[in-house]
Amino acid sequence: MRIANRTGHITGGGSDGWEIYYRTRDLIAAGERVLTLTIGEHDIRTDRRILDAMHASAAAGNTGYAFGPGNRALREAIAARTQARTGVPTSWRNVVVTPGGQSALFSSHMVLLDAGDVGLHCDPFYATYPGTVRATGATARRVPTTSDAAFLPQEAQILARAEGARTLLINTPNNPTGVVYDRATLEGIARAAQAADLWVISDEVYDTQIWQGEHLSIRALPGMAERTVVVGSMSKSHAMTGSRLGWIVAPQEVAQAVETLATNTTYGVPAFIQDAALFALGLGEGFEAEVAAPFRRRREIALRVLQGSNAIRTIPSMGAMYVMLDIRATGLSGNAFANRLLDEERIAVMPGESFGDTAAGHLRVALTIADDRFEEAMTRLAAFAERQLP
């Protein structure tokens, strides 16, 4: 007897990049005090009003099967929100509700890639991206970016790797870098996608966390709405990570294919969670700004503490709940730096190598602990880095 090769193909062999996170959990379980800046999890919980709406819906009996692509009222709200933010006409029929953003990513690739195809994604990348592509039976191919160019994808690099590819996965605001793609970058991506006849899967789950510049969806560029799938989520914008409520916005034929996939996998998202999401969206942009505010403050703390550092260069921190630090001046790899920082200072950050080859020599810092503890962590990290200079 044997199991299928599919999961082995998904992992691709080797490390999953989360060793620091696992070590940190073990230290905390043993009673150690660790300043943990590893994962993108809010330090606040879901707002009580949203939980009350969820409870009221469940108590009213909305606990049965939630078969299908989502409740129409919620899909209409997501469509209206998308149209208002992008200016692109969007129908509720373009929307499918999914069990979180990761499910939306998985579903999008499953309906757009066949075994033997190639799916492109940028390097550095969120940890699940390559496995999500490989889960379809396709080959995941990286499009490298460079630290000196703020890890922005370049048109030429996409085209150089586009042979045999059918999809390109992008992410702005970006995890892990905190960079927001500007219009010129998105226009270059759009030209490459059109020239190579690629579907673009655009992960925009951090679209409410913009500290500098503005968020522009590639779907809003000329000729892109018909070849773009946008992934959204309530996790980051509304601190609803555990509720698992995401969506895709896509051409109707893609949305219908995702609906078929959901019928044979997840069977939809519980109705009481959908009702809570509809209530949460009704709280408006002011509420979303409140959820984002702590990360804006901590980004300012990080920039202030690191200003003038000889050991650390900050990648432009424009959005999302992370800052990425270039520590190559210390002569250490990201892995070596992060492990020593955890051992000697009990501060946990993610090494850049966890997110791909091009982020080697960098660190991703999550802005996810209280301001005073975050400032302590950054001050000690900066001092540690200075001590490592040759």
Can you list the residues of the chain whose pLDDT is less than 70? Answer: 13-16
Q: What pLDDT is stored for residue 2 in this prediction?
A: 84
- The pTM assigned to this predicted structure is 0.96
23, 91: one domain: no
Domain holding 237, by residue range, is 64-283
Task: Report the distance separating Cα 305 and Cα 37, nearest Å.
Answer: 16
CATH number at residue 225: 3.40.640.10
37, 143: one domain: no
268, 295: one domain: no
Q: At what angle do helices 271-281 and 48-59 cross, to 10 degrees?
A: 140
Instruction: Establish if 59 belongs to a structural domain.
Output: no
92, 17: one domain: no
Q: How many helices (H) and strands (E) does the chain have?
A: 14, 12
Q: How many domains does the chain have?
A: 2
Last residue of a domain, one of 283, 313, 334: 283
Other beta carbons within 10 Å of 155 = 17
152, 301: one domain: no
Burial (CB count within 10 angstroms: exposed 0-12, middle 13-18, buried 19+), residue 190: buried
259, 301: one domain: no
Instruction: Establish if 54 belongs to a structural domain.
Output: no
134, 37: one domain: no
296, 233: one domain: no
pLDDT tens for each residue of 161-174? 999 999 999 999 99
Question: Which residues are CB-contacts of 185 (< 8 A; sequence separation ≥ 6)?
Answer: 152, 153
Instruction: Establish if 52 belongs to a structural domain.
Output: no
Pull the structure tokens for residue 231: 């992934």
Last residue of a domain, one of 283, 299, 324: 283
121, 211: one domain: yes
SS3 readout for 61-104: CCCCCCCCCCCHHHHHHHHHHHHHHHCCCCCHHHEEEECCHHHH
269, 218: one domain: yes
Going across the sheet that includes 347-351, the strands are 35-37, 347-351, 362-366, 322-326, 313-314
263, 305: one domain: no
Instruction: Establish if 51 belongs to a structural domain.
Output: no
Last residue of a domain, one of 226, 259, 283: 283
CATH number at residue 11: 3.90.1150.10
Q: What pLDDT is stored for residue 9 in this prediction?
A: 80
Other beta carbons within 10 Å of 37 = 27
Instruction: Establish if 57 belongs to a structural domain.
Output: no
Task: Report the distance separating Cα 102 and Cα 13, nearest Å.
Answer: 21
pLDDT tens for each residue of 8-40? 788 776 666 789 999 999 999 999 999 999 999
305, 211: one domain: no
